[in-house]
């Protein structure tokens, strides 16, 4: 969905690497093929996992002569990465001086997925995030507040590297201590904020509670938000409260981190960094390519990763390629915002539902905010869904009929759109626990 800006508004389109971002399609595909050949050869020579997988398919690196040959190559899954823990998918030994950094997932449901970075890998990562800074109007004169968490999670350091490459002034706040975040945002003249959407909303609400009006009193003009779903309603709420243009950024630690793709100010799809990644959209069941415009599973192949390259990594994210070109002038293909994950999909009484679908329905009700939580439990043999959603501050909780009417209307809309029965409970503002990172949207209490 396009930003609130109109065609008559003045917007200085900024590019970090225009020679790449506006490259002719034929030249870009030639670059992709050259880098794909290099990546395939690196994986074959240095990573036993890929040599075995290629052997099983009867493929040699020399067989890759066209981009279409990518479809002949094996897939890589998160389970493959877990089984390779810690360094069996590295193309460079971890004790080699070229390996500069390690990142890893939490590993709460098994071995962590570990990725390594050479200095060139870090520079590429910084370049792709710097493109996102430009896409929201930032430049070398910007003050970038990084409110993603720093550490093994790739968010904070990815944004930080982007600021370095852009030569912006960086305020490395990490997450937490929200009142201090607000005060420094104001006092330091921050113009670009990078964090999760739920934390951006908490920062906005905290600023209002402190008596500030960021939309008119702060210098901030752009927000780069990712790592979790953000409905259009939530986006507009953040934009209105902070006075910013909010762009969605996408990435995952296994592939690189935030910066794999990002929206421009038109908010009409995320421009994929196709010079560093090949994106495929495949049918999750048949693994056959989906036509542009059709939803499927996102699969990425890295083209420039030196330490931990990946071939055809199945992300489990659901999206599509948007046909046509963007008005911003970038020729890089655009993926739609992720609509859900195959492994985050909820199966409720046999119906497949994504949490983001709840968000989209709630966005149509002006009486409620973007703070909600889905609680799943069992009632005998059946699933029970409780949706808690906060009302706006001006909602009158003394009017029982109004509460019941709102709950009924939300329930009806959910049933119509999701085909599942939901118990809706509207609650007062600040009733749902806030998160200074990713919001916990789903609590599943069902017994397996």
Domains by residue range for the chain, with CATH: 1-343 (3.40.50.12780), 346-444 (3.30.300.30)
What pLDDT shows up at residue 6?
39
What pLDDT shows up at residue 447?
62
Torsion 114-120-126-132 (CA) sign = negative
Residues in the chain with pLDDT values less than 70:
1-10, 106-109, 342-345, 347, 349-350, 380-381, 447-448
- Three-class HEC string of 352-374: EECHHHHHHHHCCCCCEEEEEEE
Q: Report pLDDT digits (tens) over 49-95.
A: 999 999 999 999 999 999 999 999 999 999 999 999 999 999 999 99
The DSSP H or E segment spanning 226 is: strand 222-226
- What is the token pair recorded at 53? 């997988």
- DSSP, res 437: S
* Contact (CB, 8 A) for 112 and 104: yes
Q: What three-state secondary structure class fits 153?
A: coil
Residues 6+ apart with CB under 8 A from 91: 42, 43, 46, 47, 306, 307, 308, 309
Partners of 390 in the β-ladder: 427
Pairing mode of beta strands 277-282, 270-272: unpaired
Q: Residue 193: name the closest of 267, 229, 245, 235 by CA.
A: 245
Residues 6+ apart with CB under 8 A from 434: 198, 202, 371
- DSSP, res 213: -
CA geometry: angle 21, 322, 64, nearest 5 deg: 65
- What is the token pair recorded at 133? 């800074």
What pLDDT shows up at residue 107?
57
Distance (Å, rounded) from C-alpha 143 to C-alpha 163?
A: 9
- What is the token pair recorded at 427? 């609650």
What pLDDT shows up at residue 5?
41
What does each C-alpha distance from 397 to 361, 390, 403 come to in angstroms? 22, 11, 7
* Contact (CB, 8 A) for 333 and 321: yes
Distance (Å, rounded) from C-alpha 303 to C-alpha 282?
A: 19
Distance (Å, rounded) from C-alpha 96 to C-alpha 165?
A: 25
Q: Report pLDDT digits (tens) over 105-115.
A: 865 557 889 99
- What is the token pair recorded at 63? 């067989």
Distance (Å, rounded) from C-alpha 264 to C-alpha 307?
A: 29
E strands, 77-177, where?
99-104, 114-118, 143-146, 169-171
What pLDDT shows up at residue 230?
86
Burial of 81 (0-12, 13-18, 19+ CB in 10 A): buried
Residues 6+ apart with CB under 8 A from 308: 89, 90, 91, 114, 115, 116, 117
Q: What is the DSSP string of 388-430?
A: EEEEPTT--TT-HHHHHHHHHHHHHHHHHHHSS--EEEEE-TT
């Amino acid at each position: 969905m396009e930003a609130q800006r109109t065609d008559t508004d003045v917007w200085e389109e900024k590019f970090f690497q225009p020679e790449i971002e506006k490259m002719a399609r034929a030249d870009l595909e030639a670059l992709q093929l050259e880098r794909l050949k290099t990546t395939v050869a690196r994986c074959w020579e240095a990573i036993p996992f890929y040599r075995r997988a290629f052997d099983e398919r009867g493929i040699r690196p020399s067989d890759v002569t066209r981009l279409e040959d990518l479809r002949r190559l094996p897939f890589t899954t998160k389970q493959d990465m877990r089984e390779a823990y810690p360094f069996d998918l590295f193309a460079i030994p971890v004790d080699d001086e070229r390996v500069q950094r390690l990142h890893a997932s939490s590993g709460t449901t098994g071995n962590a997925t570990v990725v390594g970075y050479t200095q060139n890998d870090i520079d590429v990562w910084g370049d792709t995030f710097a493109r996102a800074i430009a896409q929201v109007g930032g430049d070398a004169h910007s003050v970038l507040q990084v409110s993603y968490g720093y550490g093994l999670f790739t968010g904070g350091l990815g944004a930080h590297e982007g600021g370095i490459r852009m030569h912006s002034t960086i305020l490395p706040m990490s997450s937490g201590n929200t009142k201090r975040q607000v005060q420094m945002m104001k006092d330091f003249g921050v113009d670009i904020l990078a964090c999760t959407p739920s934390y951006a909303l908490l920062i906005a609400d905290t600023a209002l509670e402190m008596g500030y009006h960021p939309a008119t009193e702060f210098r901030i003009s752009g927000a780069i938000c990712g790592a979790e779903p953000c409905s259009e309603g939530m986006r507009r709420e953040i934009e209105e409260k902070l006075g910013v243009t909010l762009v969605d950024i996408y990435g995952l630690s296994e592939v690189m981190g935030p910066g794999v793709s990002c929206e421009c100010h038109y908010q009409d799809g995320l421009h994929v960094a196709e010079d560093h990644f090949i994106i495929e959209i495949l049918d999750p069941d048949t693994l056959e390519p989906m036509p542009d415009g059709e939803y499927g599973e996102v699969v990425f192949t890295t083209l420039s990763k030196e330490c931990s390259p990946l071939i055809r990594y199945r992300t489990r994210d659901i999206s599509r390629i948007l046909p046509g070109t963007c008005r911003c002038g970038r020729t890089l293909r655009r993926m739609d915002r992720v609509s859900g994950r195959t492994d985050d999909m909820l199966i409720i009484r046999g119906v497949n539902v994504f949490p983001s679908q709840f968000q989209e329905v709630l966005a149509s009700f002006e009486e409620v905010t973007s703070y909600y939580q889905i609680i799943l439990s069992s009632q005998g043999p059946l699933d029970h869904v409780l949706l808690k959603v906060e009302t706006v501050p001006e909602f009158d909780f003394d009017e029982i009929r109004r509460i019941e009417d709102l709950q009924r209307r939300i329930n009806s809309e959910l049933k119509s759109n999701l085909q599942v029965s939901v118990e809706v409970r509207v609650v007062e503002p600040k009733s749902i626990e806030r998160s200074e990172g990713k919001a916990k949207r789903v609590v599943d209490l069902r017994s397996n």
